Amino acid sequence: MTATILNFSAFTLLLLVMILFILTGLVMLFVVQKYFTKLHFSGHAEFGEIFGNTISIIFGFILAFITISVWQSYNNVSDTLSKEANTLFNIYRTIEAYPPEIRDAGKKQLIIYVHEVINTEWDSLAKSQYDLRAYKALMSFHDLIIHFVPKNNGEIAAHQEELRLLSSYRELRRNRVESAKSLIDQPMWIALIASAVLFLFFSSLFKMRSLRIHATMITLLSISISLIFYLLLIYNNPFIGPSALQPEPFQKLLDYYWLKT
């Protein structure tokens, strides 16, 4: 369900989330004002305002904390992609110091691996699935390097550097693959949505002289909450949605640097 919603464009998704929260807020206001008259704060407005301010601060703090955490996680994955591509670039350059037969075979295998990441693995990441073909392509290069026996000091130095880079790259790749999941799981979504509904319910309990003004305030409050949930949706999973990370760093290796077909 979430994946289907995130297939919409950024503007369409924002519009849908805003409409959903506005309708929820206005329906909540109508129901509360008509059927929950005994719960209104008309006779205890000052206490209701104090309690309302407290709830607003707590609810806003929780949403802000979760939003910042999701944004930081998204940025960390983006930074990992850049580091991963840069490490691949260094691996490709270092293999120049190997004998021709190892050098040519290694370059070819790296190109195959990068194509596999771009064309196949990225779709698997969006589905939170593991791409075995990309892993096997990387392991083919790994086996080629670890079975090489250096014959002089230059080859020894290059081999040690290549092994170090390869070890670093495997760690970066693991971080990328493990990041292909939602930071906010289903129970947390339920808690956040329930909290938002309760907050709108509470805001509807005040008895104001003008229902039009009250409806305007509920609408603005609903829009504010919808903006936060919109950010949570588009940054919750870094490989799904209108702001999904693309394999651009890997594509640049093929298009502009050394990994050319």
Alpha helices in the chain (DSSP H): 2-5, 10-35, 45-94, 100-116, 122-126, 132-146, 153-178, 186-203, 211-236, 248-255
| Residues of the chain predicted below pLDDT 50 | 261
Residue 33's SS3 state is: helix
- Per this entry, what is the length of the chain? 261
pLDDT for res 52: 64
Which amino acid is residue 18, in one-letter code? Answer: M
Taking alpha carbons only, the member of 233, 250, 251, 252 closest to residue 242 is: 233
Taking alpha carbons only, the member of 22, 39, 14 closest to residue 218 is: 22
pLDDT for res 261: 46
Q: Is residue 253 within 8 Å of residue 113, measured between CB atoms?
A: no
Distance of CA 193 to the CA centre of its chain: 19
pLDDT (tens digit per residue) in 185-201: 889 999 999 999 999 99
Residue 69's SS3 state is: helix
pLDDT (tens digit per residue) in 114-130: 999 999 999 999 888 88
Residue 179's SS3 state is: coil
